[in-house]
Amino acid sequence: MSGESGLVLGIDMGTSGARAVAMTAAGEVVASGAAKLAALTDDHRDPLGWWRALRSALAETLAAIDVSRVRAIGIDGTSGTMLPVAADGAPLATPLMYNDPVADPAILKRIAAHAPEESAAHGATSGLAKLLTFQSLPEVFRVIHQADWLAGHFTGLYDVSDENNALKTGYDPVARSWPEWIQRTGARVELLPDVLPAGAPVATISPAAAEAFGLPSETVVVAGTTDGCASFLATGADRPGDGVSALGTTLTVKMLSDRPLFAPQYGLYSHRIGDMWLAGGASNTGGAVLAAHFSAERIAELSERIDPATDTGLDFYPLLKPGERFPVADPAFMPRMEPRPAEDSEFLKATFEGIAEVERRAYERLVSLGSPALGSIRTVGGGAKNGVWTEIRERRLMVPFLPVLSEEAAAGAARLALSGAKEAGVL
């Protein structure tokens, strides 16, 4: 099979639907497809609805390319979404989604008693809490993550996961193994999937899946990742010190590091990606604060009156209510948005400055915890479209602002498929 004309497929199973892309060996997206869950199922927890959405998005993508050129497939799913399955992959219960808490206090107490402080398995929404919830079901073969289950439809294997999805289930990405303390929580460790590095080749596509989609029998399925990691990879960030800021409802910063960072007091954990680590934190500031004061149209109008080359001199810390997670960990941390200037444009400018300062401090915090120096920033989310805000941020952060290759998580999953295809020698 010729690598020069080969394509890979990336599939993202998100909270509202599925997206798929076809990508060349050079990283160019040449086709895409999408399907909304709401159009295919009445319940976003319905695994058959996930599969229908995936098939629809993938069919749209495949219809636009020469299917014989496909070499590999990568899939991401929502982090912490888990389901118990039989040996043939049949779901044995309604899945628990990424944000579904486990209500049994005894389960949470057992995890708290044995999990190290820096483990991502703490908390009511952790994968380990969901394993302990599902493990007593009759005929359970494995308790696996959403991305694992979808990938299993292409390989017939329902006992393989990746290092990113497994993190919240207690996997140790430094030792690259399931730690022995998990068994002390009462978990049936035999129900845990085998774990491979994200992007590592898992198996060639099953004959049934190859026939169903018209794909070559040599197509390689790679170990997947979480939707968050896939979104980061989609941007093109690939070197230690590369940062990605998401300016959405809240502000999230992520950076590639050459060493793992763990700071549970900030909700900070590290995902292993290749030979690097992806660490990040989430602040409570962001677009929700702006939206509480101005409509999108008003922000655009006021932005035209702002000179981004000067400072207001105000020291805002924009929050909707008390409490901050990162770069400050303080549930009582108070917002600062006074004195309010008489002009709305000055108030908006001071808010832009305040969020930019939180962003600067967030990256500074990552460096203080052991990350490399910030080398560049790529920006995603609605705030990336505001040129005035971008100029204010550039003055504060003083590093190159680079273009984003894609904001589609599916493109990040495709980049993993590229690395796996090269490792398998099919591209």
pLDDT for 4 equals: 61
pLDDT in tens, 186-206: 999 999 999 999 999 999 999
CATH of range 7-228+409-424; options 3.30.420.40, 3.30.1490.110, 3.40.50.12140, 3.30.1330.40:
3.30.420.40
Strands (E), 241-373: 242-247, 251-257, 270-273, 276-283
* CA–CA separation, 58 and 64 (whole Å): 10
Residue 247's identity, in one-letter code, is: L
Q: How does DSSP assign 10-22, residue by residue? A: EEEE-SSEEEEEE
| Token couple for 39 | 């159009």
- Say whether 197 sits in a helix, a strand or coil: coil
pLDDT at residue 2 is higher than 70: no
pLDDT tens digits, residue range 274-326?
Answer: 999 999 999 999 999 999 999 999 999 999 999 999 999 999 999 999 999 99
The three-class DSSP label of residue 423 is helix
pLDDT 10s digits, 138-179 = 999 999 999 999 999 999 999 999 999 999 999 999 999 999
> What's the chain's average pLDDT?
96
Q: How far is CA 161 from the centre of its chain?
A: 15
Tell the burial category of 423 from Cβ atoms under 10 Å away from its Cβ (0-12, 13-18, 19+).
Answer: middle
Please compute the mean of the pLDDT values over residues 375-400 and round it to a whole number.
97
**CATH 3.30.420.40 residue ranges for the chain:** 7-228+409-424, 239-397
Q: What is the reported pTM? A: 0.94
**Tokens describing residue 210:** 């190859």
Please report, rounded to a whole number, the percentage of residues in the chain having pLDDT higher than 90: 98
Look up the CATH architecture of domain 239-397: 2-Layer Sandwich (3.30)
Query: What would the pLDDT profile of 5-43 be if each residue is shown by its tens digit?
Result: 899 999 999 989 999 999 999 999 999 999 999 999 999
* 50's tokens: 């996930």
Q: Is the pLDDT of residue 213 over 50?
A: yes
Residue 331 exposure: Cα atoms within 13 Å on the Cβ side: 2
**Strand extents, DSSP E, 169-327:** 194-196, 201-204, 220-222, 225-226, 242-247, 251-257, 270-273, 276-283
